[in-house]
């Protein structure tokens, strides 16, 4: 165990997260050349795609998609832009998309319109003959960037030392993490979870060890612990920039859950004040939020769950019902458009899409589909064999638990 102080670095994606926030609600795609002025990193692509107008791109994607036929499937996470979602063969939450990717054994190409950790997971779950493509390589996740494998390995060594004599600890990593972290969980008796099965995986872990290390989202970890009756004071936040995460051995010995100090910059924007304001305007409104929100927000909301849970709950609700939603705005706007008989609003008055999901601009989808039709696999996502084998142990545990 080495005592060390590291210099905190804020992930670039976290700094860029508010690049597309605006006060009007016009999120319709412009040509990529126009969008390049937003202060984020974009992957370079041939200039002809940058100049194409939205309608031109739409037509080009449609014809490239038709040409590819059964050779390819396009997966779209719920946070993708409408201009991308319309081409998705399946849209869903992280869990549904990973299950679907694992079930599609015959197609040659899986085009994943989501973020990097999702495409990496699809690559791990896919067959050897399949190739997974992420249309824009800069589509990462600022939360996943908050857990570096070297820091996580240091943390694991420290915890292993402290808990050796007292019942051990089981690592759980949220899907929003690198393959290397999933592999660490696989080789240390741990498991992967998503927002739709976090409670089941927590129970699974607590049947096998006395404690849980939850990576990298402290809020999902805390909210899940509370759901299972664990008190907030039994959960400690591990600060990777401090020796022993900022705790004494005695404090760690008393803890039941160790939460990695990570968060989602989109979901931590939601506040209790916004919920109070929504209820003031509409006393009969239902508030539903994603469990990446803080415990204070989750505590006062009426319900919480994954993106698919939020979508299906509102779809199943009676006409005339009112909904204030605490999740990414592209999804909230789509639910509102698809449920015109209900009032559906975002809790946050500022329109802030997840800036990394938003980087899958139609120009990138057009570029990679054209490439596949020409026999060129642009932006293939691969995972080293050893890491993939260990990560798939943790992913298979998740798929068998729920």
Query: Using CB under 6 A as the criterion, which residues of the chain lie in contact with ligand SF4 when the complex forms?
Result: 115, 141-143, 176, 264-266, 292, 328, 354, 356-357
Strands 131-133 and 322-326: unpaired
Q: How many CA atoms lie within 13 A of 107 on its CB side?
A: 23
Of ligand SF4, ligand 13P, none, which one sits near residue 230, judging by CB under 5 to 8 A according to partner kind?
none
Using CA atoms, how far apart are residues 380 and 377, in angstroms rounded to an integer?
6
Q: How far is the CB of 244 from ligand 13P (least distance, A)?
A: 29
Residue 147: both structure tokens together: 């857990």
Q: How far is the CB of 378 from ligand SF4 (least distance, A)?
A: 22
Using CA atoms, how far apart are residues 344 and 323, in angstroms rounded to an integer?
5
Nearest to 399 by CA among 107, 100, 141, 170: 100
Q: Which is nearer to ligand 13P, 50 or 143 (CB)?
A: 143
Of ligand 13P, ligand SF4, none, which one sits near residue 348, judging by CB under 5 to 8 A according to partner kind?
none
Quote the Cα angle for 103-180-228, to 5°: 75
Could you tell me if 257 and 212 are in contact, meaning their C-beta atoms sit under 8 angstroms apart?
Answer: yes
Using CA atoms, how far apart are residues 45 and 49, in angstroms rounded to an integer?
7
Of ligand SF4, ligand 13P, none, which one sits near residue 307, judging by CB under 5 to 8 A according to partner kind?
ligand 13P
Of ligand SF4, ligand 13P, none, which one sits near residue 223, judging by CB under 5 to 8 A according to partner kind?
none
Sheet architecture: strand order including 211-215: 191-193, 169-174, 211-215, 257-260, 235-238
Of ligand 13P, ligand SF4, none, which one sits near residue 356, judging by CB under 5 to 8 A according to partner kind?
ligand SF4
Q: How far is the CB of 140 from ligand SF4 (least distance, A)?
A: 8
Using CA atoms, how far apart are residues 220 and 198, in angstroms rounded to an integer?
8
Of ligand SF4, ligand 13P, none, which one sits near residue 32, judging by CB under 5 to 8 A according to partner kind?
none
Q: Which is nearer to ligand 13P, 224 or 307 (CB)?
A: 307
Q: Which is nearer to ligand 13P, 176 or 286 (CB)?
A: 176
Q: Which is nearer to ligand SF4, 81 or 342 (CB)?
A: 81
Residues lying near ligand 13P in the complex (CB under 6 A): 78, 93-95, 176, 194-195, 264, 292, 306-307
């Amino acid at each position: 165990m080495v005592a060390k102080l590291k210099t905190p670095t804020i992930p670039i994606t976290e700094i860029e997260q508010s690049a597309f926030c605006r006060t009007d609600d016009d999120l319709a795609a412009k040509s990529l050349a126009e969008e390049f002025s937003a202060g984020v990193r974009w992957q370079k692509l041939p200039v002809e795609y940058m100049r194409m107008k939205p309608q031109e791109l739409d037509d080009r994607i449609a014809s490239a998609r038709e040409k590819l036929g059964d050779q390819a499937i396009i997966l779209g996470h719920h946070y993708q832009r409408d201009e991308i979602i319309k081409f998705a063969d399946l849209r869903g939450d992280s869990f549904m998309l990973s299950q679907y990717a694992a079930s599609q054994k015959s197609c040659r190409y899986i085009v994943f319109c989501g973020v990097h950790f999702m495409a990496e997971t699809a690559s791990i779950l896919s067959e050897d003959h399949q190739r997974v493509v992420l249309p824009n390589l800069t589509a990462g996740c600022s939360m996943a960037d908050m857990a570096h494998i070297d820091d996580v390995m240091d943390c694991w060594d420290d915890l292993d030392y402290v808990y050796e004599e007292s019942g051990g600890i089981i690592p759980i990593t949220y899907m929003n993490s690198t393959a290397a972290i999933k592999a660490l969980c696989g080789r240390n008796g741990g498991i992967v979870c998503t927002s739709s099965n976090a409670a089941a995986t927590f129970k699974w872990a607590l049947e096998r060890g006395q404690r849980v290390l939850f990576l990298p989202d402290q809020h999902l970890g805390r909210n899940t612990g509370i759901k299972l009756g664990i008190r907030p004071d039994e959960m400690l936040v591990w600060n990777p920039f401090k020796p022993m995460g900022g705790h004494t051995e005695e404090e760690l010995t008393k803890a039941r859950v160790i939460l990695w100090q990570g968060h989602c910059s989109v979901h931590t924007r939601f506040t209790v004040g916004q919920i109070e304001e929504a209820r003031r305007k509409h006393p009969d409104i239902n508030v539903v939020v994603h469990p990446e929100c803080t415990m204070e927000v989750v505590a006062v909301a009426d319900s919480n769950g994954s993106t698919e849970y939020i979508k299906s709950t509102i779809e199943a609700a009676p006409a005339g019902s009112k909904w204030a939603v605490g999740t990414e705005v592209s999804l909230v706007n789509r639910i509102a458009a698809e449920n015109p008989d209900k009032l559906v609003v975002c809790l946050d008055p500022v329109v802030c899409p997840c800036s990394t999901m938003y980087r899958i601009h139609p120009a990138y989808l057009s570029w990679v589909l054209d490439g596949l039709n020409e026999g060129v696999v642009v932006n293939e996502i691969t995972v080293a064999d050893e890491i993939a084998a260990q990560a798939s142990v943790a992913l298979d545990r998740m798929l068998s638990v729920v």
